Structure 1
Amino acid sequence: MTQVLVIGAGPTGLTAAVELARRGIAVRIFDKRDGPSPLSRAVGITPASIDLLTPSGAGPAIRSEAVRFDAMVMHQGADPILTLPLNFDDRSTVYGLPQDRTEAHLIDALARCGVTVEYNRPLTNYHVHGDHILADFGQHIHIEARYLIGADGSHSRVRATAGIHFDGHDLPGHWSIADVMSKTWPHKDSFAGYMLPGGEVAVVVPMASDRYRVISSLPDALKALPVTMEVDDLRRTSEFTIQVRQAERYRKGSVFLAGDAAHVHSPVGGRGMNLGIADAADLAARIAAGDLEGYEDTRMEVGEQVIHGSERARRMIQSTGAAKLVFQTAMRGLNHSESAKHAIVHQLLSG
C-alpha cells in the first residue's frame, strides 16, 4: 500500500512528494492537469525555501537559475520616494524565478527519487476506512494510502470533501497581471512598486533575464504603470481576485492540508509559494518521523501571522486620504535611516 498520496503538483505538492521520497517513504502524486503548467503564478523565492530544498538537489538548481533582487524601489506615481536595499544579511535576500521553472527543478528532483507526477488524474472522492484512505480518480481507479495530503489549491477538493471550512473573504475588485519581455526596463534586478491615485498600485518584478511580472489593482497592469515600459514580447495577461482565507483546521485524521489549500492571502511580501513549501517540508519530515501532532498548530500559527502581515502591508500601500499622506511621509523619512530600512525589509520578508 502506498504510504502517502499527494493531490496537486504545484510547488507545495511537489515539495511534499520530494521530501517524502528522498526519505524512502512510498509516495504517489496526482494532478488533474494534463502536464506541467507553462505559466507562472508565483515569482519570489526566499533563501529559507532554497535551504529546505537543498537536500534533494532542487535548491541549488533553483539558486543557480534565479535572479537575485538587489532592492525594492517604491514610487509615488513615477517619482521614487524610497529605496530599500536587499542582501545585507541572510534574512534580506529574495530571488525571482518563474514558478514553472521552480516546479521543473522539483520534478527533476522527484524523478531522481524514482517518482513521477501522475497527470490527468483528478481526484473525484475519497473515503477514510480505519487506518487507511481509499481515493477515487474515476475510470475505476482506486488507490489506498495511509495518509492523504491536499496541496490542490484554494479550490481544494481534498478540503471540501473533508468538510473543512475555508474562513475569510475575497477583496473587492479584480487585479491584473502581465508577463512580458523587455530589454530596456531599468530595474533589471529590483522590485519596483508604484503607488497610484485612489489607493491603486502597480508593481514590476523581475523573473528572469529581461522577463518581468507586472501586477496591478487596476484592470490593465501595463496601462496602470505611470512610466513607459517598452514591451518586446507579451507572454501572458490575466485577472485575479485576492482571497484572504485560512482553513479552520489543517488536519482531519489522516488527511492534511498544505499551501493554498490551507491559506491564501494578498501577494504583498511574496510569501504564498514560500509558505506552501515550508508547510510541505514540515509535514513530510513529521510523517517520516512518525510524529504528526505538532503540524496543525505550528503551521496554522505561521499561516495566520503571514496573512495578517501581508494584509497590514497591503492596506498601508493602498491607503488613501490622510493615511496615505502619513504613510508617504514616513517612507520618505526612512531614506535617512539604514537601520529602519533594514527592519522594514525583515518585517516584509518574515513569516
Structure 2
Amino acid sequence: MSFSKEPNHIDVLICGAGPVGLFLANELASFEINFRIIEKLDKHANFSKAIFVSARTLEILDNRKLIDPFLQNGVKVKQFVTYQNINKLFDIDLSSMDSLFPFALMNRQNKTQDYLIDALHKKKSMGIKNVPNVEFGMELIEYEEKDDHIIVVVKNVNSGKEEKIICSYLVGCDGVHSSVRKGRNDWIFEGRTLDNSWVVADLNIDYELIKDDQVTLFAAEGGHIAILPLDSRKKSFRIIGRVSEEHLTLDKLQKLIDEKTAPIKLKLTDPAWIANFKVSERVANKYRMGRAFLAGDAAHCHSPVGGQGMNMGIQDAHNLAFKLALVIKNQAINPDKILTSYEQERHPVGKSVVSGTSFATKMLSGKDFISICLRTFVAPFMFHVFPQFAFNFQSSLFQTDLKYFPETSDILHKYIPRSSPKNKLIKVGHYAPDGLLKKIFPQKNHDRLTLFDVFRSTALKHTLILFTLNKGVTADRNPLINTLLEIYSEYKRTITPIIISYQGTVQTADIPFTPFLEEGREQHIFIETKFELHEKYGITKEIGQQAFVLVRPDLYVASAVFENDVDKLKAFLKGYLVKLDRHS
C-alpha cells in the first residue's frame, strides 16, 4: 500500500466535524494541543439537524467565550406547553431554572458548526499554536493501536489517496455509524432500534397557539408531535413526531398533523425539508478503549424527546478535553487514571439519558393504559401540585442537575468531612455554583462581576478557591493565605488560586500587602456583600471554618475541604497533578 506522504505525528486525531468534534477541536486548540480534525463529508449540510441547546451547554459555551453568536442569533424558549387535543395538560416555566441562562435556545446545527469553525479561525488569527483547518472529504479507513501511539489510515474521498497518521490519541465524534467505534470488534453499541418511524420537518406554521418563545407538544396515542421555534421573524418551526408511514409529502404531513392536533387546525407551508428517520436507543459498552475514545452520538443515541443528544456530546467533549491536555502535557500523576475517569463519569450519564428519554417517549405516545394515565392525569397533577417535581423535571431535562460521584470516578477526592449536623460543604462532583462578587481593586464602573466571570479567565486550569469567612486576606491576619500560596507555588502550571472574602473584612491596610501583588494577580482577590457564595458552597458562619474548593476546568468540584483538613487536600493533589519542580 502506498501513501500520499510520510506519516506525521500529532497528539490527537478527531474523527468527525459535527458540533461535538468542533467543540472538542476548540478545546484542544485553547490548550495548544497538536491535533487534526477530519470529516468524511465534502461540506456541512445546509439543513439543520440538532437545534436544541440546553442551559448547561450554554454555560459551557459562555465559559469558553463561544456564546455570543448563539445568543445573538438563536431563539430563546421560555416555556414548554403540552396539549392533548385542545386541552392544556401542563406547562413548564423555565424562568425559575437554576442557571445563568434560564431558557432553552433553538439554534440550527449548521449555524452551530459555522460558529465553532469561526471560533477556530479566530484562535488561529490570535496566534494560538497548532490550530488546523477542518479537513473535509477525509474518511477514516482503519487504525491500529501500538504501545504509545495509534496508526490511522485515512482516505481522501475525492482523490482516493490514502494517508497514514500517527497520533497519541484518537477521538470518534463521527456519529451513530462511527468508523472509530466499528474499527474495533470489542466495541459494542448496545441497545435496540425501534420499529416505528419518525418525521422531522422545517416549515412555516401560522397559528396563534404556536408561539415562537415556547416548545409546544401535542400528546397523542400512537405518537406525540413536538413543535419547536426556528425563526420568530418568519414563523419558521420544526416538527418532530412519530408517524405510521415514511416518505411523507407536505399534504400527507398536513393530514397527519390534523389528526394529531384535532380540533386545532395548523396550516403548514413552505417546507425547507421533510425527512424520516428511525430512533435507536443505544450506548457503547465502553467510552474508552486504550488510546481511542468515543463522544457524542458515536457513544450514545436515543429518542429526540428532550433534545439532549448534541448537548450530551458537547459535555462529553468538555469532560474529555482537559484530561487529554493534562496527560499530553505531562501534568497528570497517573495518566491512565485520568483518562479512565472520562468513561467513569460520562458512561453512566449516557445510560441514564437513554433510559430517561425512552420512558418519556413511551409516556407521551404510548397506547397502553398506564401511558395514557401518566400523561393525562398523573403528570398534570404532579406539575400543578408539586412545584419541586416540576423543578426536578426541568433540571433533568436541561442537565443542570448533572453530577459525578467520587465512588465511581478515580479523580474525584474521596473526602468525607467530619460529621456535624451543621456541615453543608459542597459535595465533590457537583457543578460549581455561580454568584455575585466585587473586585478588591475596583475599576470605574467595572467593580462587579460573577464567579463564572472569574472562571472564564481561569478556564484552562483548575481554580483553587479559598473561602475566608471573616478571617482576612493577608498572611498576618490569616495563616491559610500562606497555605494557598504554598499550594500555588507547587502547581502553578495547573492551578489558579483565588480568594473570596466578604465586605468589611478587607481593610484599606490590607491593600499593599495582598498576597498576589508580586505575581501581578491582585485581581484574584474578591469580596461579596451578601455572603451568598459562601453559603452556596457550604461555608457557613455557624461552622466558622474556612474552606478550600478545587474546581476543575469543566467547572465540576474536584475537592472541597475545611481548613482543619487541608493536609487531605494536599495529599489528593499529590496523587492527581504533577508538581512544578518535576519538569521545571
TM-score range, shorter chain: over 0.9
AA in 2 matched with 1:216 = G
CA pair 84-125 structure 1, distance change in 2 beyond 3 A? same
TM-score after normalising by structure 2: 0.58
- What CA distance in whole angstroms lies between the structure 2 residues aligned with 1:338 and 1:282? 31
AA in 2 matched with 1:214 = I
Note the C-alpha offset of 1:232.
4.0
AA in 2 matched with 1:319 = G
Whether 2:298 is the aligned partner of 1:250: answer no
CA pair 244-325 structure 1, distance change in 2 beyond 3 A? closer
- Which segments of 5 or more consecutive residues in structure 2 lack a partner in the other structure? 1-8, 125-131, 156-160, 328-337, 403-584
Q: Give 1:1-351 correspondences, 5 Å limit.
A: 1-91=9-99, 93-114=103-124, 115-138=132-155, 139-163=161-185, 164-182=187-205, 184=207, 186-197=210-221, 199-209=222-232, 210-218=235-243, 219=245, 220=248, 221-225=253-257, 226=261, 227-290=264-327, 291-327=338-374, 328-333=376-381, 334-350=383-399, 351=402
Note the C-alpha offset of 1:320.
2.2
Note the C-alpha offset of 1:231.
3.3
Judge conservation of contact 1:14–1:107 (CA < 8 Å) in 2: yes
CA pair 178-223 structure 1, distance change in 2 beyond 3 A? farther
- What CA distance in whole angstroms lies between the structure 2 residues aligned with 1:73 and 1:55? 30
- Which segments of 5 or more consecutive residues in structure 1 lack a partner in the other structure? none
AA in 1 matched with 2:239 = V
- What CA distance in whole angstroms lies between the structure 1 residues aligned with 2:369 and 2:268? 36
- What CA distance in whole angstroms lies between the structure 1 residues aligned with 2:64 and 2:398? 24
Q: Structure with the greater relative contact order (CA < 8 A, sep ≥ 6): 1 or 2?
A: 1
Judge conservation of contact 1:135–1:143 (CA < 8 Å) in 2: yes
Judge conservation of contact 1:179–1:211 (CA < 8 Å) in 2: yes
Q: What CA deviation, in whole Å up to 9, does each residue of 1:21-61 have, x standing for no partner? A: 11100111000101122121111101211222234432232
Q: What CA deviation, in whole Å up to 9, does each residue of 1:241-283 have, x standing for no partner? A: 0000011101111111000000101111111000000001111
AA in 2 matched with 1:213 = R
AA in 2 matched with 1:190 = Q
Note the C-alpha offset of 1:337.
4.6
- What CA distance in whole angstroms lies between the structure 1 residues aligned with 2:44 and 2:362? 34
Q: What CA deviation, in whole Å up to 9, does each residue of 1:203-239 have, x standing for no partner? A: 1011232221101101455433223333342100100
For the residue of structure 2 that corresponds to 1:244, the secondary structure is: strand
Q: What CA deviation, in whole Å up to 9, does each residue of 1:98-140 have, x standing for no partner? A: 1111111111111223332100101111122321122112213
CA pair 137-335 structure 1, distance change in 2 beyond 3 A? same
- What is the RMSD of the two structures over their aligned residues, measured on CA atoms? 1.8
For the residue of structure 2 that corresponds to 1:169, the secondary structure is: strand
Q: Taking every aligned residue pair, what percent have the same amino acid on both sides?
A: 30
AA in 2 matched with 1:240 = F
- What CA distance in whole angstroms lies between the structure 2 residues aligned with 1:331 and 1:305? 20
TM-score after normalising by structure 1: 0.94
- What CA distance in whole angstroms lies between the structure 2 residues aligned with 1:205 and 1:222? 17
